[in-house]
Structure 1
Amino acid sequence: MKKNRLVLSMLGLGMLALASCSDDNNNEPAPGPGNGAKSKYVFVAYSVGSEGVESAPYIISADSVTGGKVGLSNGIETDAYSFVTQDNKLFAAVWGGQGPVTPYNLDANGKIVQAGNTVNAVVAAIYGAVGTDSWVGGGFNGDKQDPMATLFRFDAKNLILGGRNTIDMNKLAVGDEWPTWYGVFPVDQDKLFIPYDMFPLDQTQTQTKYTDSTWIMVATYPGLQFKKIIRDGRTGTIGSWFGMHGLKQIEDGDVYAYSTAVRSKNPSAVVRIKKGTEEFDQSYFFNLEAKTGGLKVSRGDYISNGKFLMSFFINAKEVTEWAGRTKLAIVDVKNQTITWVTGVPEHAQMGYKQKTFVEEDGNTIRYVLKDDAGKHFVYTINATTAVGTKGLEFENISDITTISKLTF
């Protein structure tokens, strides 16, 4: 795992060297934003490098995802690795240096343009939208030599850092093991839940002793101060490195979290934290392995009304953190049911997280996958019927890392 995290860091720095911002050489001022009556789907796509692997990232758009093809020609090159959607903007955060953040939006003509100045923050190993006008990022080091981690709030309306605070990671460490944050999720408007895992500081050890533990750090919001630790021992770690998934507060105020439980004696499962509490609800336990005949969940994204779109490893041999062959299901955590999605083929999961966008109707899901022929498509999935349909195809790209929708 430590080696993989180092590889990710080097990958990000390598992309910085390869990629540079570009735009039309045009001195005419860009049109301002439109009235929001129209919209486009916005993606981050990587070009194909000389060795057939991903090269430079581009922000591209499409009017529809139900059919047709799209490539890099109508996009702009960027130099970031992480992308957060908030306040009808796409924020591009660089993995390296001072973690510079650059906002993008669509102008009145629907063209992708830079929406404001680049702001230095910190390298954000975790990030997530909070409310309607901010997002929170977090960066940390992997040992006791530099134990102070940073949480920062980015003001998406004024395009400035709205606040920051440091967290002493010694508060989370256990013995000779060190914490790694896996995501940041808003809860009750006044706090953040940050799932994390442990990793041994001893370089000769490659696996944590705490595979059977579920950890969440609670931080205040907007103060970003450490509050407490929540732990449970019935499943495993929530989320995965750079996955930004695994936990969600749903409409009724309850919080649901799910775990792959890789290398754990515990089953892959969903657990709950009741509204207004900061402890795991011992009366609730949704055993996903028992329900699926032994399959472990890989990733997931919230849809609405207690339903998640989750991917499951098709067998025990496929269970890893970043790879593995998966199939999709609609998982209802309130009724504890699983409905397999038809019309979407089994596929190798893409890097780090699912690429999912849920429409405002809370039922229509847009899902990006790479098929066995190496082609990338957007599938539209109906959450009620659990039926998927192949749509937009991407041409001459090596990867898709982000799907969102902006108005103009």
Structure 2
Amino acid sequence: MKRNRILTYCALGAVLLASCKDSPNEPDTTEKISTEYSVWVTSAAGSYILTTDDLMKDTLLTPAGNKGIDISGYLPAAWYGVYAYNYQGKFYVSNDGTRFSQLEIQDNATMKETNNYAFSSAFYLGKVLSEITSKDELVMTKTAGTYNETKNVLEQPIYFMDVNTMKLNNTLTVDIPFLDYTPLTPDNTPYIAPYMVPTSFTVRGDKLFVGHKYRGSDGTGNKDILDSTLVYVCDYPSMANGKLLKDPRGGVVAGHWEVNNTTFLDDNNDLYFLTKKIGPETYGLVRIKAGETEIDKDYFFDLKDYNIFKNTSSSTIQKLGNGKAYISPFVVDPANKKVTADLRILTGGAEPKTTMNLMENGKLYDVFKTDASKWYIYEYDPATNAVRRGAEIDGGITHVYHVNKLK
């Protein structure tokens, strides 16, 4: 089956920002923000940043009456929040298919583009390699690489960007082997244009681990098409000595190609991958132990009896420390295969609603929606297994993408 697949499916938006990068000779007019935190929300009217100096304050955060910072003009669609990242208090946004913008809040009232980088081809922000990101450098991928038919690999770039200049310090490319056979639908017909989706990038010591899955159309729309955990591991940074790991127990590596991550390193440096079975929908964890480059055949944490976050492509697994992780809405002890808390119960039956939550000083901050359709920020303390309710968010919102620390 011919595979003429240049994977640039994410060139979706119209050009909304026509100006080029500001001249380096222009004075820096950036105004410093005075608040500590922000919450990125969407409503029927657009996308907004709500700021506060205390997430636990008994107050209402709302975009009404021009109290929120309207960022709709920077995004061609509200859901593009999944292609955005907050780093060192600044926002990094993919917004027109090639332009990558650095945005800063001005005097708690407006958002300003303070720098940008124009990629030569389609670019939407994919994963951020947080294990090797430094204060002055953002290490990231884009949502989809390029299929090289001659080598039968997906050429996936990893960019090292200087956040002070918005210039690339370096680019590495990992070649992930593509399928060497034609996947078939349950009706034994070939899928239409199957393609690879990298779902995680983790650097651990001198190794790079890339979790990925395959999607394709059966004529009714794109969907996950295989049911095995696939991880590509190679030397880092040389990208040499690569090998493909495959495990049939848990299903595909969960998640999608946007910023959110569904893998994590625990305190022992063991690497965990959330897996998802394709209908009936069930979940689990597989592990690659510290110092190893094979999936642990003696470990599988079956989560089929737990209703973990409903959409794994728009939620983030958060490491809590002390052997615990937050797989929304549950706190888990993965090494001992235990679920230790259900935050829906601790919050009185509320459902978690963020795409990206926040960890600060050992505590988790997430947004939950109550049965009465009220949205609140909650603080969870893993040390005491207790929650505390903080600021309320305007009930007119439809989604919360990020809870961020700004300074």
Q: Which residue of 2 aligns with 1:172?
A: 178
Q: Which residue of 2 aligns with 1:79?
A: 74
Q: Which residue of 2 aligns with 1:310?
A: 327
For residue 13 of structure 1, give the secondary structure of its aligned residue in structure 2: coil
Alignment of structure 1 residues 5-404 onto 2, 5 Å? 13=13, 30=29, 33=32, 40-49=36-45, 55=46, 57-66=47-56, 67-72=58-63, 73-77=67-71, 78-80=73-75, 81=80, 82-94=83-95, 96-98=96-98, 100-105=99-104, 114=112, 116-121=114-119, 122-124=122-124, 126-130=126-130, 131=132, 132=134, 133-140=137-144, 148-153=154-159, 154-166=161-173, 171-177=177-183, 178-200=194-216, 203=219, 210-211=226-227, 213-218=228-233, 221-222=236-237, 227-242=242-257, 244-263=260-279, 268-289=283-304, 294-298=305-309, 299=312, 300-311=317-328, 328-339=329-340, 340-341=342-343, 342-346=345-349, 350=353, 354-359=355-360, 361-362=361-362, 364-395=363-394, 396-404=396-404
d(CA) in 1 for partners of 2:203 and 2:220? 38
CA contact (8 A) 1:139 1:149 kept: no
d(CA) in 2 for partners of 1:142 and 1:370? 40
CA RMSD of aligned residues (A): 3.8
Deviation at 1:190, TM superposition (A): 3.9
Write the deviation string for residues 39-92 of structure 1: whole angstroms up to 9, x where unpaired: 61122222423xxxxx3x233321111131122324252524222233443212
Write the deviation string for residues 255-312 of structure 1: whole angstroms up to 9, x where unpaired: 11222324269x63222111122211123222233xxxx225335322222211123x
CA contact (8 A) 1:235 1:264 kept: no
In the superposition, the TM-score normalised over structure 1's length comes to 0.72
CA contact (8 A) 2:153 2:178 kept: no
CA contact (8 A) 2:127 2:261 kept: no
Deviation at 1:247, TM superposition (A): 0.8
Percent identity between matched residues is 18
d(CA) in 2 for partners of 1:45 and 1:376? 11
d(CA) in 2 for partners of 1:39 and 1:305? 30
Q: Which amino acid aligns with 2:326?
A: L
CA contact (8 A) 2:206 2:236 kept: yes
d(CA) in 1 for partners of 2:369 and 2:330? 17
Write the deviation string for residues 314-348 of structure 1: whole angstroms up to 9, x where unpaired: xxxxxxxxxxxxxx221011232212233325456
Q: Which amino acid aligns with 1:124?
A: Y
CA contact (8 A) 1:197 1:237 kept: yes
